[in-house]
Structure 1
Amino acid sequence: MIRAAPAVDKLSCEVNPMRKLRLFASAVTALSILASTPAFAAGKTDFKVCWTIYAGWMPWGEAKTQGIVTKWAKKYGINIDVVQLNDYIESINQYTAGKFDGCGMTNMDALTIPAAGGVDSTALIVGDYSNGNDGVLIKGKGKKITDLKGQSINLVELSVSHYLLARALESAGMSERDVKTVNTSDADISAAFATPTVKQAVTWNPMLADLKAQPDVTEVFDSTKIPGEIMDMMVVNTKTLADNPALGKALTGAWFEMLALMKANNASSTAALTSMAKASGTDLAGYKGQLATTALFYTPKDALAFATSPSLPQTMTRVAKFSFDHGLLGQGAPNPDAVGMAFDKGVIVGSKSNVKLRFDPTYVRMAADGKL
């Protein structure tokens, strides 16, 4: 029996600065949104993409502020409005409903919300992956993953924290049957961990950094152990992209110009990073700390290597299985292959007749080849 995901309004919350609620949502919700989705018109000149506060997505806001997005849009004769929203899940819901042409989201959410809901979506840019931003904590020194057996663990259920826990347990020959999860919102996780009764927790930065800095706390597993599995992406509507390749070219060009500026190590890059730090509710040192555990692909070449890696289909197969096991592909999904996913060189994982999520490196490859 498939366990249905809770309703989105029970899981989503307004994104606090420096915090991004990276949740899965039910396909049922996505399908209800899809029912009112307008047709995507070909030959458009005006586009909108959205993003929410998180270390790996701050460049979108700064690229708008710097005029970089406008410059690249004008190069291709279009207009692109880059909009910051305050609620992560709501941003994906609005994208799914057709109110935005693109949206920043994780690989898991791209699969379980728009793709599972029937909206054919393309990962235009895989911008980064969590490289220590997510971790499993136990109170006490010298603890190990096996010490979780029989214990209650506080986390945001059906989130990337839940996925990380499953991977941690798997690495120690255990499973979720060996523990009990306690659903705790990201806003409450720090306060819960401060109480004597809560001894285990899974969370992400910046809460993770604060909690593991406390005395007698051991981080027994983190996302560096599963590199490349928790990705942050710019996802666009596949039909819109096919009808309007200028959108893909402009967004990709703007993104990598912004990242080159961040990496320039000069006064301009410091100013840009300081601006992003302020926008995310921290200082320059704090934002650099967040970037240190975020594996950003600063060059098109690096992003292309990741997007065309043979390990990417394997990773998404694992994500699809987790999603199916937790009822996140919809109650009608017969197996983890219900939603097809397409990758470089014609590789397809899952249903070939229902491909709804595409990792298409076309535009990143153009950037890498200097053809934008």
Structure 2
Amino acid sequence: MKKPFALKRRITQILGGALITAAVSTMLIVPAASAQERDSFKIAWSIYAGWIPWKYVDESGIMKKWADKYGIEVEIVQINDYIESINQYTAGEFDGVVATSMDALSIPSAGGVDTTALIVGDYSNGNDGLVMKGSSDIKDLKGEQVNLVELSVSHYLLARALDSVGMSERDVTVVNTGDADIVAAFSTDGVKNVVTWNPLLADVLEMPSANGVFDSSQIPGHIKDLTIVNTQTLAENPALGKALVGAWFELMAEMSTDSEAGQEARAFLGEASGTDQAGYEAQLAGMKMFWEPKDAIAFISSDQAIEAMDSVREFSYQKGLLGEGASSADFVGISFPGGKTLGDSANIKLRFDPAYMQMAADDAL
């Protein structure tokens, strides 16, 4: 099996007042991508196991087939810098982008861009984890350093791990460490505790005295991978939602089987992500994939999903990720199916709207 490379993902940066102002100003000066009915759209994606299927959707012709069905063109664009792709979406340069739920909330939504989670693709179910060297007791972290990518979902997972044993971040010292350096750092005597994601997590766990003590399977639904789109663009161009959802779930139906088509897709995606079919399937094993739209709808309509998002927004507020103007976690409103909301119902900026996935579930696309 070829060595998987570090799949960069989910590195949340604080959008300070200046950056938010610049993004919003850009959207005011230049007509937003969503300002009219159109027939051409751009969607950005970055490499991670749960998002790289967009590459296959594009290159296999599945996207073109669905776009042609609705008389539109959809350009699928790979952006190597994950956060930059979300910043460009926030500034109106793309109609949609892939993002975790935490980053969807803390960047475009907190920046005032009304955003819809069009596709809920999966959640991390073991792909993110806390590893300790020489101990398997989280309580032994008291007074210790923990290396991770600060303000990423690794930081969030650490907070949940500490909370599980009645501790808090005040009990440890977080050391900001780039994802490219995590594995090498853990191999040194000076680093005893790290939080990271696969395939880096698998590399760390193979080292002597490494103990996986907490992972994302213990907080199911908290780290969600989404395809988000501009809400106004979607409202004015329903063909975009139909084409994207139709193309995505056509591929999911193939990828979930051991058919020749399914294996071909997984082999392609393994090669595209720097590993092989087995390596890619190992990463999929650490995720709860929503192969069918009905499963994604059931999850995002559940109390579990709302409780998970409530935890994420509280963390985001505590870390200043909702911007300087946020006086509480309620600053940004979040809506869910069935009229349920979190936060300010007069300022809904993140919407988990299953309408298009329901069309796919009903075979109505």
Partner Cα distance (2:21, 2:7) in 1: 27
1:65 CA displacement: 1.0
Structure-1 residue corresponding to 2:35: 41
Q: Is residue 221 of structure 1 aligned with residue 214 of structure 2?
A: yes
Structure-1 residue corresponding to 2:66: 72
1:209 alignment partner, SS class: helix
Partner Cα distance (2:69, 2:303) in 1: 34
For residues 241-252 of structure 1, what are the structure 2 equivalents within 5 Å?
Answer: 241-252=234-245
- Decide whether the 8 Å contact of 2:46 with 2:79 is kept in 1: yes
1:21 CA displacement: 2.7
Query: RMSD of aligned C-alpha atoms?
Result: 1.2
1:32 CA displacement: 2.0
Partner Cα distance (1:91, 1:127) in 2: 18
Query: Quick one: percent identity of the two aligned structures?
Result: 56
- Decide whether the 8 Å contact of 1:18 with 1:280 is kept in 2: no
1:214 CA displacement: 1.4
Structure-2 residue corresponding to 1:317: 310
- Decide whether the 8 Å contact of 2:89 with 2:97 is kept in 1: yes
1:20 CA displacement: 2.1
Structure-2 residue corresponding to 1:27: 15
Partner Cα distance (1:36, 1:340) in 2: 23
Alignment gaps of 5+ in structure 1:
1-15
Partner Cα distance (2:257, 2:144) in 1: 47
Q: Is residue 286 of structure 1 aligned with residue 279 of structure 2?
A: yes
Structure-2 residue corresponding to 1:85: 79
1:18 CA displacement: 4.5
2:52 alignment partner, SS class: helix
Question: After superposition, what is the alpha-carbon deviation per residue over 1:294-322, rounded to whole angstroms, capped at 9, x for unaligned?
Answer: 11100111111112112222211111110
Partner Cα distance (1:174, 1:322) in 2: 15
Partner Cα distance (1:42, 1:312) in 2: 33
Structure-1 residue corresponding to 2:57: 63
1:248 CA displacement: 0.6
Structure-2 residue corresponding to 1:96: 90
1:270 CA displacement: 1.3
Structure-1 residue corresponding to 2:150: 157
Structure-1 residue corresponding to 2:293: 300
Structure-2 residue corresponding to 1:346: 339
- Decide whether the 8 Å contact of 1:49 with 1:101 is kept in 2: yes
- 1:71 partner letter: K
Partner Cα distance (2:305, 2:38) in 1: 32
- Decide whether the 8 Å contact of 1:337 with 1:350 is kept in 2: yes
1:324 CA displacement: 0.6
Structure-1 residue corresponding to 2:101: 107
Partner Cα distance (1:249, 1:307) in 2: 19
- 1:336 partner letter: A
Question: After superposition, what is the alpha-carbon deviation per residue over 1:29-48, rounded to whole angstroms, capped at 9, x for unaligned?
Answer: 33322210232222110001
1:17 CA displacement: 4.7
Q: 4+ residue stretches of structure 1 with deviation over 3 A?
A: none
- 2:185 partner letter: A
- Decide whether the 8 Å contact of 2:182 with 2:196 is kept in 1: yes
Partner Cα distance (1:248, 1:200) in 2: 43
For residues 113-152 of structure 1, what are the structure 2 equivalents within 5 Å?
Answer: 113-140=107-134, 143-152=136-145
Alignment gaps of 5+ in structure 2:
none
- Decide whether the 8 Å contact of 2:149 with 2:177 is kept in 1: yes
1:182 alignment partner, SS class: strand
1:275 CA displacement: 0.8
- 2:24 partner letter: L
Which of 236, 259, 263 is equivalent to 2:252? 259
- Decide whether the 8 Å contact of 2:50 with 2:225 is kept in 1: yes
Structure-2 residue corresponding to 1:12: none
- 2:191 partner letter: V
TM-score, length of structure 2 as denominator length: 0.95
TM-score, length of structure 1 as denominator length: 0.94
Partner Cα distance (1:221, 1:154) in 2: 15
Partner Cα distance (2:100, 2:361) in 1: 23
Partner Cα distance (1:248, 1:31) in 2: 29
* CA spacing shift, 1:48–1:158, aligned 2, 3 Å: same
Structure-1 residue corresponding to 2:227: 234
Which of 178, 183, 192 is equivalent to 1:190? 183
| Higher alpha-carbon deviation: 21-30 or 130-139 | 21-30
- Decide whether the 8 Å contact of 2:6 with 2:179 is kept in 1: no
1:187 alignment partner, SS class: helix
- Decide whether the 8 Å contact of 1:18 with 1:53 is kept in 2: no
Partner Cα distance (2:319, 2:127) in 1: 23
2:247 alignment partner, SS class: helix
